[in-house]
Amino acid sequence: MIQVINLTKTYNGKKAVDAVTFTLEKGQIFGLLGPNGAGKTTLIRMLTALTKPDSGTCTVASFDVRQNSAGLKKIMGVMPQENNLDRELTAYENLLIYGMLHRVDNLHRRIHETLGIVGLSERKDSLVSHFSGGMQRRLLLARSLMTSPRILFLDEPSIGLDPQIRRQMWDIIRKAKMDRRTVVITTHYIEEAEALCDRVAILSKGKLIALDSQDNLKAQIGEYLVEYVDGEGHLVQHICQSRSEAQTVAARCEDGVTIRKSNLEDVFIKLTGERLE
Amino acid sequence: MKKFLEWYPIYLREMLLFRRKLFKLGYLFSAMVIPVIYLIAFGLGLGRSVQMGRGNYIDFLIPGLVAMSSMSNSYSWVASSLNLNRLYFKTFQIFIQAPISPSSIMIGEVLAGMTKGLFASLLTIAAGFLTSSHFTVTPLFVATLLLNCFLFACLGIITGMISKSHEDTSTYSNFFILPMSFFSGTFFPVDKVPLSIKAIIYIMPLTHTNILIRKENLDQEGLLSLVVLLAFVVVFFVFGSQLIRRYNE
């Protein structure tokens, strides 16, 4: 569905995306995980024809993004990280304009459907400027779904949302996968990547550090973690390949030791030496 | 929606936003204030002591004020809103990521700019009818007005696309729009200015709008101005479309 080869973008001499290469199969939820400034948004912008790469190739659903972005634009939906709704238009008007630009059939029915999906039907005639931040994020998601796209690009979809709304949004994204849509999602929330993604790419300083299924990534570093706080108040972690190894390590440690399964943040820290923020 | 109507959603969006601003006092005031100030200061004040050949000064001034008003409103509304939509609100991304051509984006934005420019011009025309009994609106006047709105809306797109900040749009306005307002025949006939300055004045598109808008019929001089204006329109439209085509974040 997506093939990216050596994609590179430089801003002011600094490589925002540095020779990134990956492929993505149809119908997967693919996560781009990394801290702020890792290059996730730049990568999404190149995949969605908003930013021209300096070098490398990028093919989405057999459309070369550089050569035939018009074809790509017909089959993709984009939810940007920045809120680019028209705040002085109503929710309905925002979707109306978007639907007209994309020539959506049965437009009025489709607007009502998508507003229903994100639970905003009763606020369709309210100005977006009167919406809470969470409602605006939901409307952005609704807009990206308006065209029933084959591929959905979601840039930090749940940023700034409270946990309840975040989980509602995850359900909608899972539903998109059940409808055989391919979803590319950027996030710096471990919980989000773990809840949604079939495969995860870890980005740091513009480079692709690792790419695999969550289980394989965790297996690379060890499935269990032994943690305790030492006498000087520092958190000490030991990565172990099995539970029995973890129990052996824990037995040698001080009081207050815990054993837990490793997560994507542990993978990230192990591979990059940085923390996700 | 048919391909040749791809521009319509962009126009509709601008009009929906415009509708909400239209009846706000601030908007009406800002659209009217400059031409009305000039009409009072130059037309009803200074103009009473100025004789212009066969007619009086205010009859000369009003078509120029309509041209100036249509220029500044078509230009500034497009330049300002496009710049803000591109750099701050990021709503311009929606157009870039839609399966429509750059020229459709251009047409939609330009027609919206024209509409805003025409609205402001209508207010000036109304003021003209109230202050001058000789003021008339001919078909050539209307055609020139439309062409002028189109031309400066195209220029507004160019400014909106190349400005790197909102402050930049004001800089461009101070360099190009403000001098044109004063030196292109709005307030005084340009045929009596020194030859060296005249060459610069005749490069300015508003000069040709002012020539054409004051004619009752299309004579040789008017035809030349029409050709110049059409040439500006083509160049600005093509250049603006290219800027949109090359859009890159």
The beta-carbon neighbor of A52 closest among B9, B95, B248 is B248
Tokens of A231: 């006498």
What's the confidence (pLDDT) of residue A82? 92
- What is the tens place of the pLDDT at every residue in B168-225? 888 888 888 998 988 898 888 888 788 888 889 999 999 999 999 999 889 999 999 9
Q: How far apart are the first and last CA of chain A?
A: 30
Contact A46, A55 (CB under 8 A): no
The arithmetic mean of pLDDT across residues B83-101, rounded, is 95
User: Is B163 within the bounds of a domain?
Assistant: yes
**Probe site for chain B from A97, A104, A130 (most B CB atoms < 10 A):** A97
User: What mean pLDDT, rounded, does chain B reach?
Assistant: 90
Residue B160 has pLDDT above 90, yes or no: yes
What's the confidence (pLDDT) of residue B141? 96
DSSP output for A145-193: HTT--SEEEEESTTTT--HHHHHHHHHHHHHHHHTT-EEEEEES-HHHH
In this complex, is the C-beta atom of A97 within 8 Å of any C-beta atom belonging to chain B?
A: yes
Q: Give the span between the Cα atoms of B247 and B85, in whole angstroms.
A: 13
The arithmetic mean of pLDDT across residues B225-232, rounded, is 97
CB contact under 8 A, B13 and A98: no
Residue B158 has pLDDT above 80, yes or no: yes
Provide the domain limits for residue B17.
7-245
Buried b (16+ CB within 10 A) or exposed e, B205-225: bbbbbbbbbbbeeeeeebeeb
Q: How far is CA B218 from CA B137, B144, B224, in A?
A: 14, 11, 10
In this complex, is the C-beta atom of A95 within 8 Å of any C-beta atom belonging to chain B?
A: no
- In chain B, residues with a C-beta closer than 8 Å to the C-beta of A78 are 97
Q: Give the span between the Cα atoms of B46 and B61, in whole angstroms.
A: 11
Residue B130 has pLDDT above 90, yes or no: no
pLDDT-based confidence at residue B59 (cuts at 50, 70, 90): confident
Contact A190, A204 (CB under 8 A): no
What's the confidence (pLDDT) of residue B203? 93
Strand partners, B56: B51
Q: Give the span between the Cα atoms of A206 and A220, in whole angstroms.
A: 22
What is the least distance, in Å, from the CA of A239 to any CA of chain B? 42
ipTM entry: 0.89
- Considering only residues B42 and B226, tell me which one the structure prediction assigns the higher pLDDT: B226
What's the confidence (pLDDT) of residue A276? 66
Q: Which CATH superfamily is domain A2-88+145-216 in?
A: P-loop containing nucleotide triphosphate hydrolases (3.40.50.300)
Q: Which residues of chain A have pLDDT under 70?
A: 254, 276-277
In this complex, is the C-beta atom of A235 within 8 Å of any C-beta atom belonging to chain B?
A: no
- What is the tens place of the pLDDT at every residue in B62-87? 999 999 999 999 999 999 999 999 99
pLDDT-based confidence at residue B14 (cuts at 50, 70, 90): very high
The arithmetic mean of pLDDT across residues B152-181, rounded, is 91
Q: What is the residue extent of each domain of chain A?
A: 2-88+145-216, 221-272
Other residues' Cβ atoms within 10 Å of the Cβ of residue A32:
29
What's the confidence (pLDDT) of residue B221? 92
User: Is B2 within the bounds of a domain?
Assistant: no
CB contact under 8 A, B93 and A101: no
Report the number of distinct structural domains present in chain B: 1
User: Is B30 within the bounds of a domain?
Assistant: yes
The arithmetic mean of pLDDT across residues B52-65, rounded, is 83
Strands of A2-11's sheet, edge to edge?
Answer: A14-24, A2-11, A55-60, A63-64
What's the confidence (pLDDT) of residue B112? 96
The beta-carbon neighbor of B94 closest among A87, A98, A103 is A98
The closest of A229, A223, A216, A162 to A189, measured between CA atoms, is A162
